[in-house]
Structure 1
Amino acid sequence: MKQESMKVLFFIRKSRLKKNGEAPIFLRVTINGQLDEVRIQRSVPLKLWDNVKERSKGKDRSSTELNSYIEALKVRLYQIHKELLCREALITPKNLLIKLFSKEERHLVLQTMRKCIDDWTSLIGTEYQPSTISRYNNCYESLQTVIKDFYRKEDITFHELSGEFIDRFEMHLRTVRKLSQNTLTKYMSCFRKFLGLARENGWLEQDPLAGKRKRLFRKEETCPTFLTLEELKRIMEKDFSTTRLNTVKDFFLFCCLTGLSYIDVKTLCPAHLYKDNEGKLWIHKARVKITTHKESCTCNVPLLEPALVILEKYKNWNSENPEGPCFPIPSNQKMNEFLKEIATLCRVNKRLTVHVARHTFATTVTLANDVALQNVSKMLGHSSTRMTQHYARALDNSIMKDMKDVALVFG
């Protein structure tokens, strides 16, 4: 397809002077010899018009505003021309001028993002977590900074997004925000959601992420923090001087022995407990999901003896509501704060959080004791064993078993 060449000209008509003596300004667009022109609803004194520079020579406020308006029209005209080229649409001078002066809605990137984020904020607790909205807001702020720096504009249309801009945005996230690869992937996923929305609505024809997905959405393998058997026993055997730390220790150990997350153990009720035909007590509970559209998974966990002891210990903590939560668990923030103290007192040189208990159950308590991966997955309430495989890679228990045979050869 032959590239469309366009010429833009602003000029005045001395034969059509207004009553105040000013000459009306016209805009002419020429494409491959075909032209069309329109009056821009602005006028200028004859002596102030510069035919070569196509602008007013005056230094007063009116002249400055006029020149800014002419420049804005020119920029917008080339912008429309570029958008039509990207869409491979029919480009004629008349088409361009109609689009330039039409009142049709322009879909801007930051404006669209702001509206969506504000709408989603009202859905916190049902469809979105506060941390997710916070990430969208951080993504918005970074985009706002890069758009202003890259385009020298407050906002842009979706059609203006380019691969070069995406590269600049990536560098901003890596060097200014100093994001790790996995966090950068999360930010890019936020941005990709808006690009998908724009494409669905016909606001964006070409994908600015084309050819960059492998780099931008690459996830690095991370090793989950978990307690070794020695560290776990050290905490189990430690008797603290304060009731506060002993209580937090009990809740943490219960999570280590059941694999329940903080929110799942906080919402654990007697209704989630049942006995099998052999009289063994189990936890059968649907995992708490913040977003309702996600698949609901159920954890199915037989209770070990130490977990039964902890459960019995807090059996009557709330006599007014016996069918309510099984444990008087403090906030996640407080739990993590107290666990730092426990880690120090038990000489555990790791960042101890409530979620470390879930990792410990998956690795030290189950997989290290030859519990099948499929069964560990069911107890954790994972929808796929691929999620559980993450813990198996961290432990690599099978490697140690194979190396024992090698050790015999070289022993």
Structure 2
Amino acid sequence: MVKTFHHIFYQKKPKNYQNGPVPIYLRITVEGKRAEVSINREVEPGNWISKAGRLKGKSEEVKKFNAHLDALQSKLYDAHQALIRENKPITAETLKNRYIGAGERQRTIIPIFKKHNDEMQALIPQEYAEGTLERFRITLSHLKEFLLWKYKTTDVELRQINHEFVADFDFYIRSERKCANNTAVKYSKYFQKIIRICIANGWIEKDPFVNFKVKLKVVDRAFLSEEELQAIQTKEFTSIRLNQVRDVFLFSCFTGLAYADVLKLSPGHVSTGIDGEKWLFVNRTKTDTPSRVPLLPVALEIIEKYSAYPACINQNKLLPVSSNQKMNAYLKEIADVCNITKELTFHIARHTFATTVTLNNDVPIESVSKMLGHKTIKTTQHYAKLLDKKVSSDMNALRNKFTRKEETADLKTGS
């Protein structure tokens, strides 16, 4: 049975009271037992209506005072409902404690975010990639800076995080941090994961991300054309390091592997496939999904080239892969030498495999999706949209089909 309660705001005169303002108290009564709490306000006895428990008058100041009492009354009702939801005993004392927040641990967002990141750190590489953790770390750093920028504080209680808070955080990321739309959306989504943890634990009742709408914008991914790819393949460099970077980059162009996946390759990842040819068998670092790629002649030649390379043998590596930062720096130099105006980064190799090497050569999109290790074919379909040449080829085939039909019809009519 749910226990009801009664309450009243009343004046409590101190001992030896003679004159002047009198403090206002809130009295809570449950089954005849009382609990009292001061509201930290005082009024003259002549201005107080005892029966109504409100201040007398119609001035703006009186209206504000009575509105404050209404807000406290609403807070008391919320405390009562919270005890009911949590199936906790309802007495005058427990209701008072819930109303004033006594004994409740006020959780704040920063320690919760840090705990999430620490736990993620402990699960690398079994459950998460280092890059995923780094994105959560950056989000936490942005959140700390946002708190200083907006609230001049280093932390906030969870109850302060509402729709306005997340909208302001998004605005800060875009305006102060100068992040593009897709980057800002991703930071909001990382923050949203932490909020979902709080909701799941019952620390936040209302999701502040409800009605907060942001969308990723489709971005055309750069890739190399056949001519650009050929230019890099045939170019001879005097620098050993440039030759190595070019070879590793080409290997990715003809296998579709991302930098993190190429970095971890060992000779053990190469095995005989279902067709008796050499294949790569590796789980993607980013998603842990399996990627099985039949090795094309260019990729096989590169593997053979470095099979006896001392650094690869000593480290049990398939290829001599430098840091991603160094790779991208050398790729810019390679682009200049090969007269390629696109901003050449290592990830362009993966896009080139998906487009120029496979889809453009009529490899079915289902096969491309499987080799890339995509979880859904929808991700792969974005590459198909980029290929004007493929669209032209498909439409020419359709055009020829209609032409043949018209010619056949003309022959039948004798025209």
Quick one: which of 221, 241, 247 aligns to 1:244? 241
1:214-363 to 2 correspondence within 5 Å?
Answer: 215-216=213-214, 218-275=215-272, 280=277, 282-289=278-285, 295-301=288-294, 303-318=295-310, 321=313, 324-363=316-355
Structure 1 residue 193, shift from structure 2 partner: 1.4
Kindly indicate whether the alpha-carbon contact (under 8 Å) linking 2:284 and 2:373 is maintained by their aligned counterparts in 1. Answer: no
Shift of 1:183: 1.5
Q: Please name the residue that 1:168 is paired with.
A: 168
TM-score, normalization: structure 1?
0.73
Alpha-carbon separation, structure 2, partners of 1:339 and 1:398: 28
Who is 1:13 aligned against? 14
Q: Secondary structure at the match of 1:14?
A: coil
**What do residues 158-196 of structure 1 show as CA deviations (whole Å, max 9, x unaligned)?**
333322223222222222222222212211212211221
RMSD, aligned CA: 4.2
Unmatched 5+ stretches in structure 1:
17-24, 43-48, 53-73
Q: Give the deviation of 1:249 after TM superposition.
A: 1.2
**Percent identity of equivalent pairs:** 34
- 8 Å Cα contact 1:162/1:208 also seen in 2: yes
SS of residue paired to 1:164: helix
Deviations 1:370-411 (A, max 9, x none): 1111111222232332221121122244421255479999xx
Distance (whole Å) between structure 2 residues aligned to residue 208 and residue 15 of structure 1: 50
Structure 1 residue 360: deviation in Å? 0.6
SS in structure 2 at match of 1:298: strand
CA deviation vs aligned residue, 1:12-40 (integer Å, no higher than 9, x gap): 62349xxxxxxxx97722689x9852479
Tell me if structure 1 keeps the 8 A contact 2:223–2:348: yes
**Corresponding residue of 2:158:** 158
| SS of match in other structure, 1:268 | coil
Does structure 1 retain, via aligned residues, the 8 Å contact 2:312–2:319?
Answer: no
**In the aligned structure 2, how far is the partner of 1:138 from the partner of 1:80?**
37
**Residue identity matched to 1:286:** V
Measure the CA separation in 2 of the matches of 1:307 and 1:104.
62
2:258–2:347 Cα contact (<8 Å) kept: yes
Q: State the structure with bigger RCO (CA 8 A, min sep 6), 1 or 2.
A: 1
CA distance in 1, matches of 2:7, 2:219: 53
SS at match of 1:240: coil
Deviates more, 1:96-105 or 1:141-150: 141-150
Counterpart of 2:132 in structure 1: which amino acid? Answer: T
For 2:174 and 2:77, locate their aligned partners in 1 and report how far apart those are by CA, in whole Å: 30
Q: Tell me, in whole angstroms, the C-alpha distance in 1 between the residues paired with 2:140 and 2:311.
A: 49
Q: Distance in 1 between matches of 2:163 and 2:207?
A: 9
Quote how far apart the aligned CAs of 1:138 are: 3.5
CA contact (8 A) 1:8 1:29 kept: yes
What residue in structure 1 maps to residue 97 of structure 2? 98
Q: 1:367 aligns with which of 352, 359, 367?
A: 359
Amino acid at match of 2:197: L
| Shift of residue 93, structure 1, vs aligned partner | 7.6
Deviation digits for residues 273-332 of structure 1, max 9, x if unmatched?
33468763x223122436xxx55313232x222222222222211399489322222222
Worse-matched range after superposition: 201-210 or 94-103 = 94-103
- Seen in structure 2, the aligned counterparts of structure 1 residues 186 and 364 have a Cα distance that, compared at 3 Å, is same
Aligned residues: 362
Q: Rate the CA distance shift 1:116–1:275 in 2: closer, same or farther, 3 A.
A: closer
Sort the Cα spacing of 1:78 and 1:343 in 2 relative to 1 into closer, same or farther, 3 A.
farther
- TM-superposed deviation, 1:238: 0.8
Q: Which moved more, 1:94-103 or 1:192-201?
A: 94-103
1:145 Cα offset (Å)? 5.0
- SS of the residue corresponding to residue 258 of structure 1 reads coil
**Contact persistence 1:254–1:310 (CA under 8 A):** yes
Give a deviation string over 1:316-361, Cα, whole Å, max 9, x none: 1139948932222222222111111101110111121222111111
C-alpha distance in structure 1 between counterparts of 2:120 and 2:114, whole Å: 10
- Rounded Cα–Cα distance in structure 2 between residues aligned with 1:79 and 1:150: 29
Preserved CA contact (<8 Å) 2:28 2:35: no
Contact kept, 8 Å, 1:239 with 1:246, in 2: the verdict is yes
Cα separation, partners in 2 of 1:9 and 1:89, compared to 1, 3 Å: farther
| TM-score, length-scaled by structure 2 | 0.72
Structure 2 Cα separation of the partners of residues 223 and 195 of structure 1: 31
Q: Is the 2:108–2:155 contact (alpha carbons within 8 Å) kept by the matching residues of 1?
A: yes
Question: CA separation of 1:186/1:27 partners in 2, compared to 1, >3 Å: closer, same or farther?
Answer: farther
Contact kept in structure 2, 1:87 and 1:205, CA below 8 Å: no
Residue 65 of structure 2 corresponds to none
Which amino acid counterpart does residue 165 of structure 1 have in structure 2? Answer: F
Cα gap change, 1:392 to 1:78, in 2 (>3 Å): farther
Of 163-172 and 318-327, more deviation after overlay is shown by 318-327
Q: Unpaired runs of 5+ in structure 2?
A: 45-68, 403-415
